[in-house]
Structure 1
Amino acid sequence: MKAPLAERLRPKQLSDYIGQDHLVGKDGLISKIIKQQSLPSLIFWGPPGIGKTTLAQIIANEINRPFYKLSAINSGVKDIRSVIQKAKQSQGMFSQNSPILFIDEIHRFSKSQQDSLLEAVEKAWVTLIGATTENPSFEVISALLSRCQIYTLKSFGKEELETLLDKALTEDSLLKNLDIQIKEKTALFRMSGGDARKLLNVLELIVTQQNHKDKIIIRDELVYKVVQEKPLKYDKSGEQHYDIISAFIKSIRGSDPNAAVYWLARMLEGGEDIKFIARRLIILASEDIGLANPTALVMANNTFQAINVIGMPEARIILSQCVIYLATSPKSNSAYMAINKAMDLVTKTGDLEVPLSLRNAPTQLMKDLDYGKSYPYAHDYDGNFAFHDFMPKEISSENLYTTSDNSREKQNKDFLNKRWKGKYEF
């Protein structure tokens, strides 16, 4: 039985790898690791179908290390210990270079399963490469995170997808012998959602349903027709996962509780991880509601805690309550915009000096150098406020926080204007 197109096109060496230039380009971190032949334990974080497994295998090939692979979906502690034992036995044959243990979907491992990796990673019996579609800060235990470097991989863009299509038509042992012309690519790219594997699967599905004696002309209409004839179910790691969570977030941001609860139900029926949903609500509570209703963050955080205690199916009620509360709350992105402006300003201006009046002065020498001098202690003044410049002098005129038009932040506006006498312009 022939292998799927995605497997047949899997690159074997770094020069054939598509995408992730920030990692595998000339000055990329992975390129430097391979050149130096010095591999730390790594975690690859990114959406599905972007080459996490392939990159791990290429690294093993390029630096000539034994490669062991486990999937967290169907492996347990016993499997981990068995592989570690094999790795320890093989290590002697490969000098001081420890074998690579690749764990796909590492976020699906329980705490005890992740704990079973610690000694092997700490003592370099294996070099761990984990792959995850979820934020490792939430899903990987801190002890393991501290022993690994985290590299973020990105979804494929139009250029990478076009390169992949061309490679499939010109290099695949089967497709290159067929007369295939792709007249329109929009549907293919839309179906892929930046997932290379999905793009190749859709392409192969279309080609296999055509008469290979004729010229195969692929247009958007044909793509939609074929895919509709074989509908794709809700995939927690695929395109629908990202489309539906996007619709969910935008419905709450748009203050539409009906739509928000509908998309919530779609995710729950599809078996989406309730913790993933709750984490998105916490982010939204600050990003889209923020200072217009600070209690939204409290509600979202309490929801996250509650669903961990309760679990499904009752967790659906808690999530519904929170979703409706957030959807019907006033909206403000002022905190989100302020930190983005501040981060951009820091990038542009670098490490500016902390004003002397704001510096800590725990020693007499520091006091003699005027650290902390002229700092007005706010509580010594009327209204607990004293006019003082708290920014570095080079950027003292920069305004990062601008209030949104809601009743709560109008109070902030009045508060700031009363004290700062024009410094904050709204």
Structure 2
Amino acid sequence: MNDLFAKEPHKPLAEALRPSSLDDVIGQQHLIGSGKPLRMAIEAQVPHSMILWGPPGVGKTTLARILAGAFDADFIPLSAVLSGVKDIREAVERAHATLQRSGRRTILFVDEVHRFNKSQQDAFLPFVESGLLTFIGATTENPSFEVNAALLSRAQVYVLLSLSRDELLALFRRAAAQGALDGLTFDDDARDALAGYADGDARRFLNLLEQTRTAALARKVGRIDSAFLGEVLSVNARRFDKGGDAFYDQISALHKSVRGSNPDAALYWLTRMLDGGADPRYLSRRIVRMAWEDIGLADPRAMQIANDAALTYERLGSPEGELALGQAVIYLAIAAKSNAGYKAYNAARAFVAQDQSRPVPVHLRNAPTKLMKELGYGHDYRYAHDEPHAYAAGETYMPEGLEDVHWYEPVPRGLESKIADKLAFLRQLDEDAK
């Protein structure tokens, strides 16, 4: 009688198709191709500590396992989510024992290393430094922010990329060649849709493929089209880390597209973020910020439209209110651009932060009491509305020593070109008054 408990668990397709050599890896050719760093390290048989930084499902764990095998090293995997200092100590003891027993190296692989705190990272640092452990960390977060500087200085950072559509389709062909599709056929649109749903994530692609196969076998369907995929797949939002690099990279791309006057790109990044689950209220605030930072007084209507879009979203919510945000980024992208006000504010703020506390000129001071009037507060102040052009030519409003400071210099675009003409006219009046 068979022992049910002795049976091997079912391997997910992603695990069953995991590559065992560099030549089997799809993607990351900038690291594993001929003459590239990881292949050269294997060919020279010189292991080194490294951090593999990239989005989920691009082969970080796979590469770590392949490297351990190629270097004939003992492979100790830890997950930063489940492991602590005790596990690190046990790994160090095992590495010592392996070295004494067989002379073999040990590769310590820490998945999601960004989740280790400073003390946990410090715990294995001396053993990396001594050479007892070759450290390979995997992270989806920017190592510059999440990994100790001491560890960063001892590990080479390699950036892994999302798989392209062609690379995902190559993965599809490999799965088919190995009989993983159970005779199912996919039309071109279905394959393309599957690659789109995977969003550059090989693991996700194979999981979706496995879900599709299971549903097709259950329904006795032999040919898969995009309509069938839409019925049987519960496709989550695209890869989008609301607090990590993907988030900040995409908001950066949106902002730069607006600044670069490209409405189509601005719409693309806005809808990508909405599709990925970004909070539209956060996007509303960023859109208002873009209006003030990159358009400013060149087109004051941009601020009004940005604010109105934010209020519209508050009133309508999703999805109706998102249309207002979309039209706002279109307007901001095509509006005249100026960062003159932004630069002037930053310059003034920086100056004040390091300058002394200069007194207000006496003629500009308020004089609500008899004593203040006797002290000359407000004396000789010229009321601009009583002057030609409603401008007191030659009057000074800055503290002593700052009379010739000009932080705000309007650009020759949009309304600011007219503002520049007016400032030039007023400055000429000041010169004439002298």
Establish whether TM, by shorter chain, passes 0.5: yes
Q: Give yes or no for contact 2:72–2:105 (8 Å, CA) kept in 1.
A: no
Whether 1:51 aligns to 2:59 is yes
Counterpart of 2:209 (choices 203, 208, 215) is: 203
Once the two structures are TM-superposed, the CA of residue 405 in structure 1 deviates from its matched residue by 4.5
Whether 1:106 aligns to 2:110 is no
Unaligned runs of 5+ in 1: 270-276, 294-326, 336-382, 385-402, 413-426
C-alpha distance in 2 between matches for 1:60 and 1:198: 25
Once the two structures are TM-superposed, the CA of residue 52 in structure 1 deviates from its matched residue by 0.6
Q: What is residue 85 of structure 2 aligned with on the other side?
A: 77
Q: Give yes or no for contact 2:212–2:232 (8 Å, CA) kept in 1.
A: yes
C-alpha distance in 2 between matches for 1:82 and 1:333: 59
Q: What is residue 359 of structure 1 aligned with on the other side?
A: none
Q: What is residue 189 of structure 1 aligned with on the other side?
A: 195
Task: After TM superposition, list the pairs within 5 Å mapping 1:101-250 onto structure 2.
Answer: 101-172=108-179, 174-175=180-181, 177-184=182-189, 185-211=191-217, 214=220, 216-227=222-233, 230-232=234-236, 246=250, 250=254
Task: After TM superposition, list the pairs within 5 Å mapping 1:5-404 onto structure 2.
Answer: 5-95=13-103, 98-172=105-179, 174-175=180-181, 177-184=182-189, 185-211=191-217, 214=220, 216-227=222-233, 230-232=234-236, 246=250, 250=254, 253=258, 266-267=277-278
Q: Structure 1's 162 and 411: CA in aligned 2 closer, same or farther, altered over 3 A?
A: farther
Q: Give yes or no for contact 2:237–2:277 (8 Å, CA) kept in 1.
A: no
Q: Give yes or no for contact 1:290–1:333 (8 Å, CA) kept in 2.
A: no
Q: Give yes or no for contact 2:13–2:210 (8 Å, CA) kept in 1.
A: yes
Q: Give yes or no for contact 2:114–2:146 (8 Å, CA) kept in 1.
A: yes
Secondary structure of the residue that 1:15 maps to in structure 2? Answer: helix
Counterpart of 1:3 (choices 11, 29, 47) is: 11
Once the two structures are TM-superposed, the CA of residue 247 in structure 1 deviates from its matched residue by 7.4
Once the two structures are TM-superposed, the CA of residue 183 in structure 1 deviates from its matched residue by 3.3
Once the two structures are TM-superposed, the CA of residue 80 in structure 1 deviates from its matched residue by 1.4
Q: Structure 1's 86 and 182: CA in aligned 2 closer, same or farther, altered over 3 A?
A: farther
Unaligned runs of 5+ in 2: 1-8, 297-328, 340-403, 406-410, 421-434
Q: Give yes or no for contact 2:114–2:139 (8 Å, CA) kept in 1.
A: yes
C-alpha distance in 2 between matches for 1:247 and 1:222: 34
Once the two structures are TM-superposed, the CA of residue 198 in structure 1 deviates from its matched residue by 0.7
Once the two structures are TM-superposed, the CA of residue 23 in structure 1 deviates from its matched residue by 0.7
Once the two structures are TM-superposed, the CA of residue 75 in structure 1 deviates from its matched residue by 1.1
Q: Report the TM-score, using the length of structure 1 for normalisation.
A: 0.59
Q: Give yes or no for contact 2:337–2:413 (8 Å, CA) kept in 1.
A: no
Q: Give yes or no for contact 1:48–1:237 (8 Å, CA) kept in 2.
A: no
Deviations 1:299-343 (A, max 9, x none): xxxxxxxxxxxxxxxxxxxxxxxxxxxx9x9889999xxxxxxxx
Once the two structures are TM-superposed, the CA of residue 179 in structure 1 deviates from its matched residue by 3.5
- AA aligned opposite 1:99: T
Q: How many residues align?
A: 300
- AA aligned opposite 1:107: H
C-alpha distance in 2 between matches for 1:410 and 1:71: 61
Q: What is residue 425 of structure 2 aligned with on the other side?
A: none
C-alpha distance in 1 between matches for 2:232 and 2:41: 43
Secondary structure of the residue that 1:68 maps to in structure 2? Answer: strand
Between 17-26 and 204-213, the greater mean CA deviation after superposition: 204-213
C-alpha distance in 2 between matches for 1:330 and 1:233: 27
Once the two structures are TM-superposed, the CA of residue 287 in structure 1 deviates from its matched residue by 9.9
Once the two structures are TM-superposed, the CA of residue 120 in structure 1 deviates from its matched residue by 1.3
Q: Give yes or no for contact 2:240–2:277 (8 Å, CA) kept in 1.
A: no
Secondary structure of the residue that 1:210 maps to in structure 2? Answer: helix
Q: Give yes or no for contact 1:155–1:194 (8 Å, CA) kept in 2.
A: yes
Q: Give yes or no for contact 1:183–1:217 (8 Å, CA) kept in 2.
A: no
- AA aligned opposite 1:224: G
Secondary structure of the residue that 2:136 maps to in structure 1? Answer: strand
Once the two structures are TM-superposed, the CA of residue 111 in structure 1 deviates from its matched residue by 1.4
**Rg comparison, structure with higher value:** 2
